[in-house]
Amino acid sequence: MKAQDNMPLPKSCDTFVVMPNLTKHGKVIFGKNSDRPQNEVQEVVCIGRGTRDTKLKCTYISIDESPKIVNSVILSKPAWMWGAEMGSNDKNVVIGNEAVWTNNNEGNGDARQKRLLGMDLVRLGLERGDTALEALEVIITLLEKYGQGGPCSEFDDSLIYHNSFLIADPLEAWVLETSGTLWAAEKIEKGYRNISNGLTITTNINKHSENLHEKAKDMGLWDGQSEFNFKKCFSAGGDIVRQQEGVKLLKEHTAKATFDVHNMFAILRDKESGICRACDDSFPTQGSQPLREHHLYKLHSNFVLGGNTKNTVRLLQDEENRFLKDIAFFYQDFKNNRLPLDDFKDLMKKAVQVEINLLSRR
């Protein structure tokens, strides 16, 4: 079965995780670039924990609300939709999603139908999951109940796709890849793992949807005799080059097992690999533009269009490094019970103001 002709090839986003055995401080490091249509602004929002009504309106459909108190979340989200491209919760769970191209595009796999967006599932997993495994279970339960689909752009109804997810907490990570309501999941406990815009799970499957093998056989995608390979059965293309380039960069940056946030930034800023997409691209990296088109957004736009950016970029990165040191000092003091959390609450505001000041002086 071939993909539908009106379903454009996804061409955005990269997500990766590096596990504690390869990081400098023995912590999980998670990174994602969100590449989205031109002129779409992403915003960073913080939503507190609490209870809600019995019905929850997501981007296109309403679903049953969780009976428990939902977690506090920080989300990076396209401003027009309910869901998010990436985010974290107050239980130390992080999730990012990717568009994927599959050959299961009829019935429950028809992504033209307005159901849950993959970005809705990211937010729901964070709000309802206290661990990576719990978030995974939340997503697959909702996927099987409500399905996935609907336009993934505010102005382009043809931008439709299935989704893959990278879900992590301080102890483990999961890759979840879907085709309609069918899915497979791979557990990651060490090393590194990345996903881009194509299926990557092959034969190493730790969890999968009920009767997955039988359904693949019935669809004529598997012969029932050879080793079952999720990617081989369900993939209909995608950007494998960028995913492979991500693997190369992760291998390079983890070679000494001292991977830290600076290495994460270096990968996410890598333009040669295509992981960081320029502002004039049809699908630019938008995750670094987290606010609506107000003063800071306009400053960024003028900055990029104005040229001669090297000196200002250097100054911004110097300030970035200073704030990273502040965060490291805060973490150590907070861990040793020497610093109240309130002392940290204005750090983001201060960082944004520094950026505004530097860009305004150009």
Contact assessment for residue 149 and residue 111, using Cβ atoms and an 8 Å cutoff: yes
Q: Is 279 a catalytic residue?
A: no
Cα–Cα distance, 146 to 111 (Å, whole number): 12
Q: How far apart are CA 355 and CA 362, in angstroms?
A: 11
Radius of gyration of the chain from its Cα atoms, rounded to whole angstroms: 20
Given the residues 13, 58, 233, 276, select the one marked as catalytic. 13
Under 8 Å between Cβ of 10 and 97: no
| Residue with the two structure tokens 């994460």 | 264
Structure tokens at 169: 């907490």
Please name which of 40, 134, 61 lies closest in space to residue 92, comparing C-alpha atoms: 134
End-to-end CA distance of the chain: 54
**H runs (alpha helix) in 29-146:** 118-128, 132-146
Residues 175 and 57: their CA atoms lie apart, in Å, by 27
Active site residue ranges:
13
